[in-house]
């Protein structure tokens, strides 16, 4: 099998409302990644949450390369390199969340506040481009796809991480 490659890291802050809190969250992401974040819109109107369809409620940024590896390292340091088994998807991606962005090393600013965020990591093998290219598009073979076990092994080898079962408690 071909070795796994780190494709990208997506940082997401879901505020649940538009306005000032969302722009401050976008400022946090821009400060962290050095890139301009993109805003996500609500798919449906949910009256009980006070959300209207197409209202901007979250922001995210996709980071690649060396900067993404540094951000992932700092995020895993906050989690103490411990992830649950259910953090890994069947397609070989994994994600986790942190409670406070100041744990990543950003100085606290009272005007901004504190935001939690989600980290999503996408892994792939060499040859995945055949499924994305425009001309002669093809499928990635089932033997070549990244599985949950492959992603967990990559995490354990590269970061010497610990994978806990659902019954074990992380914060206790």
Q: What is the pLDDT of residues 26-79, one digit of tens each?
A: 999 999 999 999 999 999 998 998 889 999 999 999 999 999 999 999 999 999
Q: Model's pTM, two decimal places?
A: 0.88
Whether residue 17 is contained in a domain is answered as: yes
Sign of CA dihedral 44, 49, 54, 58: negative
How far apart are the C-alpha atoms of 23 and 46, rounded to whole Å? 21
- Indicate the number of domains in the chain: 1
Whether residue 28 is contained in a domain is answered as: yes
Structural domain for 150, as ranges: 4-164
């Amino acid at each position: 099998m071909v070795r796994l490659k780190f494709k990208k890291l997506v940082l997401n802050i879901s505020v649940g409302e538009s306005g000032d809190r969302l722009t401050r969250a976008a400022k946090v992401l821009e400060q962290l990644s050095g890139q301009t974040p993109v805003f996500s819109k609500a798919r449906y109107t949910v009256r009980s949450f006070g959300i209207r369809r197409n209202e901007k409620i979250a922001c995210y940024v996709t980071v690649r390369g060396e900067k993404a590896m540094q951000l992932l390292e700092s995020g895993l340091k906050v989690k103490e390199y411990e992830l649950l088994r259910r953090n890994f998807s069947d397609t070989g991606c994994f994600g986790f969340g942190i409670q406070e962005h100041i744990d990543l090393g950003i100085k606290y600013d009272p005007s901004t506040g504190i935001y939690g965020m989600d980290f999503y990591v996408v892994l792939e093998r060499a040859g995945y481009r055949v499924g994305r290219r425009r001309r002669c598009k093809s499928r990635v073979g089932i033997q070549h796809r990244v599985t949950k076990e492959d992603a967990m092994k990559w995490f354990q080898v590269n970061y010497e991480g610990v994978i806990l079962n659902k019954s074990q408690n992380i914060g206790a």
